[in-house]
Amino acid sequence: MRDVDPEKAARQHLITRLDDPYCGEAQPERLIRDWLTPESDFFIVNHGNVPVVDAPDSYTIEIFGHIQRGRPLRLADLRSMPHTTVEATLQCAGNRRSEYDAIRRIDDPVIWDRGAIGNARWTGVRLVDVLEQVGVKNDASHVWLEGQDVGADGRFGGSIPIPRIYDRDAPPVLLAFEMNGKPLSPSHGFPVRAVVPGFIGARSVKWLSRILVATRPSHNSYFLRNHHWLDGPDGVDQGPIYGLKTNAVICTPASGAAGAGAGAGAGLRGAVTVAGYAIAGDPRAVVDKVEVSADGGRTWQAATLERHAVASCWRRWRADVEVKGPTKIVARATDSAGVVQPEVARWNRGGYLYDGWSVVEIA
Ligand code: MTE
């Protein structure tokens, strides 16, 4: 195994937020071109080096802990098991952090805008099938996952509560080796990564090297120090974040946008197409409705949602509104579990899961 800079193609159209370790997000207007996000537009979040595996045939994942039959799992073993393909949106918990940061400074080197999200078709083996083979003991409650990469706090890792892994109503948790029909690239976790549909991206551990079945949540330092909900002004720790929040996000037009072909400084006026993506908070839910307002939230109209309505996947939407002068264009989502996106996001110190109405200021 050697560590190299990941292939440039994987970052081709990304906006770099951090050079080392690399973090980059999609450009909002490119993000909503396709339902399945091409790799060149798929955000990347790294906490350490990008391991490049030269000999995938000898690549082995260790499985141990509260199981009946421990054994190393070779990549070849994994590939010989029945494959499952799942479409799922991956979203960084810090997506839209810039909107918290605009209210009050967030102490984090990476201030994401709205592009730390992407939707892909993942192929791999269901984690339940692997657990079935090794026999999980009754007292087990969490599955710890650890990557090969090493960052400032050691190896990256975390854990998933066992009920999520066995939840038959939610898309399955995968040990994936393909993304959009191709082997994972080094940037996205080659040769194997976890994909936990409907959970924050941090739980989908890349370059998976160890699986530990345990009776408590992971004590990996990244899991203990990051992605916790530090509530309110005092930052009271309410524990690790797993799920997402129901969210509609405007990708176009951009704030302060001048109309195409309009003179410098002229505001956007007349018929304006507003477009974006929306996700449901619950892994089992889909987005049912997106509403758009061209008057800052006084009156609303229904946006047109795309046909695809797949649990744990985003749904793109668009609406034509009339802009008469300086205003705020606003969007909000409702999901099939009845959750309505709130006007204001609840403050948390890490700046996670911003879910206030998406607002674009028209000058
Ligand atoms: N897995 C490892 N091993 N190392 C990491 O730094 N970053 C996590 C997760 N899995 C990370 C990881 C975070 S915070 C996110 S949001 C997703 O990977 C991003 O996945 P992507 O880079 O493939 O888009």
For residue range 230-248, what is the model confidence (pLDDT) as tens digits?
Answer: 999 899 999 999 999 999 9
57 φ, ψ (degrees, to nearest 5): -60, -35
Mean pLDDT of 123-131: 98
As separate numbers, helices (DSSP H) first and strands (DSSP E) second, the chain gives 6, 25
Question: In this model, does residue 36 exceed pLDDT 80?
Answer: yes
- Closest Cα to atom 9 of ligand 1: 202
Q: How far is CA 106 from CA 37, 100, 253, in A?
A: 28, 7, 26
- Confirm or reject: Cβ of 45 under 6 Å from ligand 1: yes
- Confirm or reject: Cβ of 144 under 6 Å from ligand 1: no
- Confirm or reject: Cβ of 47 under 6 Å from ligand 1: yes
Lowest mean pLDDT among 87-96, 189-198, 210-219, 250-259: 250-259
Predicted confidence band of residue 8 (pLDDT cuts 50, 70, 90): confident
- Looking at residue 5, its pLDDT comes to 54
Predicted confidence band of residue 361 (pLDDT cuts 50, 70, 90): very high
Q: How far is the CA of 201 from the centre of ligand 1 (A)?
A: 6
- Looking at residue 7, its pLDDT comes to 63
Question: In this model, does residue 2 exceed pLDDT 80?
Answer: no
Mean pLDDT of 70-81: 91
The beta-strand segments (E) located in 1-141 are 2-3, 15-18, 23-25, 44-45, 51-52, 60-65, 73-74, 84-91, 117-126
Q: How far is the CA of 363 from the centre of ligand 1 (A)?
A: 37
Full 3-state SS string of 156-177: EEEEEEHHHHCCCCCCCCEEEE
- Looking at residue 335, its pLDDT comes to 98
Q: Which two tokens stand for residue 342?
A: 């709130």
Q: How far is the CA of 30 from the centre of ligand 1 (A)?
A: 21
Question: In this model, does residue 295 exceed pLDDT 70?
Answer: yes
Q: How far is the CA of 240 from the centre of ligand 1 (A)?
A: 16
Q: How far is the CA of 124 from the centre of ligand 1 (A)?
A: 17
- Confirm or reject: Cβ of 156 under 6 Å from ligand 1: yes
- Looking at residue 225, its pLDDT comes to 94
First to last CA, the chain: 53
- What does the chain come to in residues? 363
Question: In this model, does residue 325 exceed pLDDT 90?
Answer: yes
- Confirm or reject: Cβ of 49 under 6 Å from ligand 1: no
Question: In this model, does residue 4 exceed pLDDT 70?
Answer: no
Query: CA 91 to CA 88: how far, in whole Å?
Result: 10
More confident residue, 269 or 8: 269
Predicted confidence band of residue 260 (pLDDT cuts 50, 70, 90): very low
- Confirm or reject: Cβ of 207 under 6 Å from ligand 1: yes
Q: How far is the CA of 221 from the centre of ligand 1 (A)?
A: 15
- Confirm or reject: Cβ of 184 under 6 Å from ligand 1: no
Question: In this model, does residue 101 exceed pLDDT 60?
Answer: yes
- Closest Cα to atom 21 of ligand 1: 44
Mean pLDDT of 297-305: 98
